[in-house]
C-alpha cells in the first residue's frame, strides 16, 4: 500500500436487556484501560463530547473510546494491507478478551455491523486514507473517484435483511421499511449525498472533512463513511486495497474519467438489486454495466501498478478474479465477499426452515454473521481467504499489544510506555504528545516510526524527570500493580 | 517516505486486455451442515433485543 490507512469501527452491543448495553460498554472500556496493560486513558478533554476518561490510546497504536453510546475502536496508522487486517481483528480480539475476563461473554456480545433492524439506527465503519496534498483534485477526478466509491459496493457490501426508509433531508429520523428483501449494503439506505462534511446527518459518499492528522502542507485525509463494516478478510482488504489503488491513480492523474449521472441514486438502487442487472447511467446519458466500469478502474490500476510489489500483485489478482466472478459466477465469491456469502448462507437456512425473508429469525442470523467472537461468527465460519491474506490467531493476538513497526504508531507507543512508567500529566493525540514541563512532540509524518525529534524529546523528558520528582510516580512494580 | 506512487510499468495486460491476468477464483463450496445446525440454536428474537443508538 502506497499510503497510510486506518479503520474506525463502531461496535453494536447485544445484551439480554436493551438498557444493558450502556453499562456493558463502559465496563469494557474501563477493563481495557484499568490496568494500563493495553493503553492509557485520556486525562484531558479531546472535544466537547470526549471528556477525560472517555477513552484512550492503545499500546498497539490504536484507540478505544465511547462514541454516541458505541464502543469504538480505531486501528493504528497502517502502511500495509495485512496490517489493516491484523489491527482490525485486534480490535475484535481485545473486546472479546474484555468480555471473557469480566465474565460477561454469556450475556453480552459485540456485533460489527451497521444497523439496528428495528429502529432504523445506523453506525459506521469509517475508512481513512492519507492522500498527498499534491493530488490533483479536479472536478472530473473527484467525480470519477465518486464513481468508483459507488460501484465498489458490488464487492464490499456486507449485505442485510430488510430495508430502512431513508432520511431525505438532514435531521429526519429513519424508519424501518420493508422486511421481505435482502440488499447488498447496510449503509446505502442512509446515504443522502455525494459530497458533504457532516458524519451523522446528511451522510455522503465522500465526507469532505479535511483533517489530515499530520502535516497539513503535505497531507490530506480522505474520510469515508458510506462503506459497511466488513467481516470476511477478503472483503476487508478488497475494500481498503482497491480504494488505495484508486488514490494511487488519482495522485498521478491517471484515474479513468468515469462520471455517473447520479451517484447516490445509483448506490441506493444497486443495493436493492442483488441479482442485478447492475446497469448504471453515466453523466453523458449512456447506460452501462457497473462491472464493466469497475473493470476500467482495474485495468488502469493493473497498467500502472502491476509488478510494483508482491502486496499489489496479490491484490490485483484477487480484485481481477472477483470482477470476473461477479459477471459470470458470483457463487465463486462465497467465503470472500460478505454480501454474497451471507445471502447464500441465509438462503440455505431459509430452505431448511421453510421460512421467507420477512421472518425475524433471519434478522437474528444477520447479526450472528457479524459477531466478533470467531467461535460464534457465521461470517468467520464461512471465510475462505486467499492464502496470502490468511492470518493466524497468534498474529492477531500479537497485534493487540504491539504497534506496526513502520508507521508513526510505533513512536507513539514507545512514548506511551514511558508515560505509563512515570505518569507525568500528559495529553496524547495522533500527531502530538504533550507532557507538562517540556516541549510538545509533534508527530507530523504518519509514515515515520522514528522521527528525528524523538531523540531530543527523550533527552528533555529524562532531564525533566531528574529535575522534578513530582513527574515520577512509583513504578508499577513498586506500587504492586 | 515515498512522495509519489512508485510506478512500475506492467509486465502484462489486465484481464480485459486478453493478456495474462487473474482467472475466476476456485469454487470451493463450504460444508455448511454443522453451521446450519448451529443457526437453529440462535434465538429467533435476538435482533429485537439489539437496540442501538444511531452513531456516525
Q: Is residue A430 part of a domain?
A: yes
E strand or H helix at B39: helix B33-40
Find chain B residues with C-beta within 8 A of A366's C-beta.
Answer: 47
- What is the structure's pLDDT at A465? 86
CA-based nearest distance A162→chain B, Å:
12
- What is the structure's pLDDT at A479? 47
Q: Is residue A460 part of a domain?
A: yes
Q: Is residue A135 part of a domain?
A: no
Could you give the CA distance from residue A313 to residue A454 in angstroms, rounded to a whole number? Answer: 35
Cβ contact B25–A333 (<8 Å): yes
Q: Are A396 and A89 in contact (CB under 8 A)?
A: yes
E strand or H helix at B28: none
User: What is the domain range of residue A439?
Assistant: 408-471
Q: With a threshold of 0.90, does the pTM exceed it?
A: yes
Cβ contact A123–B52 (<8 Å): yes
- What is the structure's pLDDT at A178? 72
Cβ contact A365–B23 (<8 Å): no
Q: Are A129 and A5 in contact (CB under 8 A)?
A: yes
Cβ contact A18–B7 (<8 Å): no
* Shortest CA distance from A246: residue in chain B: B5
Report residue B11 as a C-alpha cell.
Answer: 509486465
Per residue, what are the HEC states of chain A?
A: CCCCEEEEEEEEEEECCCCHHHHHHHHHHHHHHHCCCCEEECCCCCECCECCCCEEEECCCCEEEEECCEEEEECCCECCHHHHHHHHHHHHHHHHHHHHHCCCCCCEEEECCCECCCCCCECCEEEEEEEECCCCCCHHHHHHHHHHHHHCHHHHCCCEECCEECCCCCCCCCEECCCCCEECCCCHHHCCEEEECCCCCCCEEEECCCCCCCCCCCEEEEEECCCCCCCCHHHHHHHHHHHHHHHHHHHCCCCCCCCECCHHHHHHHHHCCCCCCCEEEECCCCEEEHHHHHHHHHHHHHHHHCCCCHHHHHHHHHHHHHHHHHHHCHHHHCCCCHHHHHHHHHHHHHHHHCCCCCCHHHHHHHHHHCECCCCCCHHHHHCCCCHHHCCCHHHHHHHHHCCCCCCHHHHHHHHHHHHHHHCCCEEECCCEEEECCCCCEECCCCCCCCCCHHHHHHHHHHHHHHHCHHHCCCCCCCCCC
Question: Could you report the per-residue pLDDT of A89-128, keeping only the tens digit for each?
Answer: 999 999 999 999 999 999 999 999 999 999 889 999 999 9
Question: Could you report the per-residue pLDDT of A308-331, keeping only the tens digit for each?
Answer: 999 999 999 999 999 999 999 999
Q: Is residue A451 part of a domain?
A: yes
Question: Could you report the per-residue pLDDT of A39-96, keeping only the tens digit for each?
Answer: 999 998 988 888 999 999 999 999 999 999 999 999 999 999 999 999 999 999 999 9
CA-based nearest distance A467→chain B, Å:
37
Q: Is the pLDDT of residue B3 over 80?
A: no
- What is the structure's pLDDT at B28? 54
Q: Is residue A228 part of a domain?
A: no
Q: Is residue A414 part of a domain?
A: yes
* Shortest CA distance from A108: residue in chain B: B50
Alpha-carbon separation of residue A325 from A114, A177, A288, A353, A415 (angstroms): 26, 31, 18, 29, 47
Q: Is residue A439 part of a domain?
A: yes
Cβ contact B1–A117 (<8 Å): no
What share of chain A has pLDDT > 70, as a percent? 95
Find chain B residues with C-beta within 8 A of A321's C-beta.
Answer: 22-25
- Count Cβ atoms below 10 Å from residue B8 Cβ, excluding itself: 13
* Number of inter-chain CB pairs under 8 A, A vs B: 189
Question: Could you report the per-residue pLDDT of A154-184, keeping only the tens digit for each?
Answer: 999 999 999 887 655 444 456 666 777 899 9
User: Phi and psi (nearest 5°) for A179?
Assistant: -95, -25
Cβ contact A199–B56 (<8 Å): yes
Q: Which of A369-373, A375-379, A446-450, A460-464 has the lowest mean pLDDT?
A: A460-464
Find chain B residues with C-beta within 8 A of A111's C-beta.
Answer: 50
Q: Is residue A413 part of a domain?
A: yes
Q: State the number of CA atoms in the 13 A half-sphere of A255 facing the CB.
A: 29
Cβ contact A306–B10 (<8 Å): yes
E strand or H helix at B13: none
Cβ contact B50–A117 (<8 Å): yes
Please give the distance of CA A3 from its chain centroid, rounded to a whole number: 15
Name the average pLDDT for chain A. 93
What share of chain A has pLDDT > 90, as a percent? 84
Cβ contact A251–B5 (<8 Å): yes
Could you give the CA distance from residue B41 to residue A302 in angstroms, rounded to a whole number? Answer: 46
- What is the structure's pLDDT at A299? 98
Cβ contact A21–B25 (<8 Å): no
Question: Could you report the per-residue pLDDT of A259-299, keeping only the tens digit for each?
Answer: 999 999 999 999 999 999 999 999 999 999 999 999 999 99
Q: Are B22 and B15 in contact (CB under 8 A)?
A: yes
Question: Could you report the per-residue pLDDT of A438-461, keeping only the tens digit for each?
Answer: 999 999 999 999 999 999 999 999
Number of domains in chain A: 1
Q: Is the pLDDT of residue A402 over 80?
A: yes
* Shortest CA distance from B27: residue in chain A: A332
Find chain B residues with C-beta within 8 A of A303's C-beta.
Answer: 10, 13-14
Find chain A residues with C-beta within 8 A of B15's C-beta.
Answer: 295, 298, 320, 323-324
Find chain A residues with C-beta within 8 A of B14's C-beta.
Answer: 295, 298-299, 302-303, 306, 320
Amino acid at each position: 500500500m502506497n499510503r497510510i490507512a486506518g479503520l474506525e469501527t463502531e461496535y453494536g452491543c447485544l445484551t439480554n436487556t436493551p438498557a444493558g448495553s450502556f453499562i456493558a460498554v463502559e465496563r469494557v472500556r474501563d477493563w481495557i484501560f484499568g490496568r494500563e496493560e493495553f493503553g492509557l486513558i485520556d486525562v484531558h478533554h479531546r472535544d466537547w463530547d470526549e471528556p477525560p476518561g472517555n477513552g484512550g490510546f492503545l499500546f498497539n497504536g490504536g484507540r478505544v473510546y465511547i462514541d454516541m453510546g458505541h464502543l469504538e475502536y480505531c486501528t493504528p496508522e497502517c502502511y500495509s494491507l495485512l496490517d489493516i487486517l491484523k489491527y482490525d481483528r485486534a480490535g475484535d480480539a481485545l473486546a472479546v478478551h474484555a468480555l471473557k475476563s469480566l465474565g460477561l461473554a454469556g450475556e453480552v456480545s459485540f456485533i460489527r455491523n451497521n444497523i439496528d433492524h428495528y429502529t432504523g439506527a445506523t453506525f459506521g465503519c469509517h475508512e481513512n486514507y492519507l492522500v498527498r496534498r499534491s493530488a490533483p483534485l479536479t472536478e472530473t477526478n473527484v467525480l470519477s473517484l465518486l464513481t468508483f466509491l459507488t460501484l465498489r459496493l458490488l464487492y464490499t457490501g456486507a449485505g442485510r435483511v430488510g430495508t430502512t426508509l431513508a432520511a431525505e433531508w438532514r435531521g429526519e429520523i429513519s424508519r424501518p421499511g420493508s422486511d421481505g428483501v435482502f440488499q447488498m449494503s447496510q449503509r446505502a439506505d442512509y446515504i443522502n449525498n455525494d459530497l458533504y462534511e457532516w458524519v451523522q446527518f446528511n451522510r455522503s459518499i465522500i465526507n469532505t472533512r479535511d483533517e489530515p492528522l499530520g502535516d497539513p502542507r503535505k497531507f490530506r485525509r480522505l474520510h469515508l463513511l458510506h462503506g459497511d463494516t466488513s467481516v470476511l478478510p477478503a472483503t476487508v482488504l478488497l475494500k481498503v486495497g482497491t480504494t488505495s489503488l484508486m488514490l494511487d491513480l488519482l495522485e498521478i492523474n491517471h484515474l479513468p474519467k468515469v462520471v455517473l449521472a447520479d451517484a447516490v441514486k445509483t448506490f441506493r438502487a444497486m443495493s436493492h438489486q442483488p441479482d442485478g442487472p447492475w446497469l448504471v447511467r453515466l453523466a453523458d446519458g449512456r447506460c452501462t454495466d457497473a462491472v464493466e466500469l469497475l473493470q476500467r478502474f482495474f485495468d488502469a490500476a493493473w497498467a500502472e501498478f502491476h509488478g510494483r510489489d508482491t502486496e499489489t500483485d496479490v491484490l490485483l489478482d484477487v480484485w481481477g478474479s472477483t470482477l470476473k466472478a461477479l459477471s459470470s459466477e458470483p457463487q465463486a465469491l462465497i467465503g470472500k465477499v460478505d454480501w454474497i456469502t451471507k445471502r447464500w448462507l441465509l438462503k440455505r437456512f431459509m430452505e431448511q426452515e421453510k421460512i421467507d425473508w420477512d421472518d425475524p429469525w433471519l434478522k437474528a442470523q444477520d447479526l450472528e454473521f457479524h459477531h466478533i467472537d470467531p467461535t460464534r461468527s457465521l461470517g468467520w465460519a464461512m471465510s475462505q481467504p486467499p492464502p496470502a491474506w490468511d492470518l493466524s490467531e497468534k498474529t492477531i493476538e500479537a497485534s493487540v499489544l504491539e504497534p506496526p513497526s513502520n508507521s508513526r504508531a510505533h513512536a507513539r507507543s514507545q512514548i506511551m510506555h514511558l508515560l505509563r512508567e512515570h505518569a507525568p500529566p500528559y495529553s496524547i493525540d495522533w500527531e502530538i504528545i504533550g507532557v507538562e514541563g517540556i516541549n510538545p512532540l509533534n508527530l507530523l509524518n504518519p509514515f515515520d516510526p522514528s522521527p528525528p525529534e524523538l531523540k531530543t524529546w527523550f533527552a528533555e523528558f529524562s532531564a525533566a524527570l531528574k529535575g522534578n520528582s513530582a513527574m515520577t510516580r512509583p513504578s508499577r512494580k513498586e506500587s504492586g500493580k | 517516505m515515498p512522495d509519489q506512487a512508485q510506478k512500475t510499468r506492467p509486465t502484462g495486460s489486465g484481464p480485459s486486455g486478453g493478456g495474462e491476468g487473474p482467472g475466476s477464483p476456485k469454487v470451493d463450496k463450504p460444508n455448511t451442515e454443522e453451521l446450519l445446525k448451529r443457526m437453529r440454536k440462535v434465538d429467533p428474537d435476538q435482533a429485537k433485543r439489539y437496540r442501538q443508538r444511531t452513531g456516525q
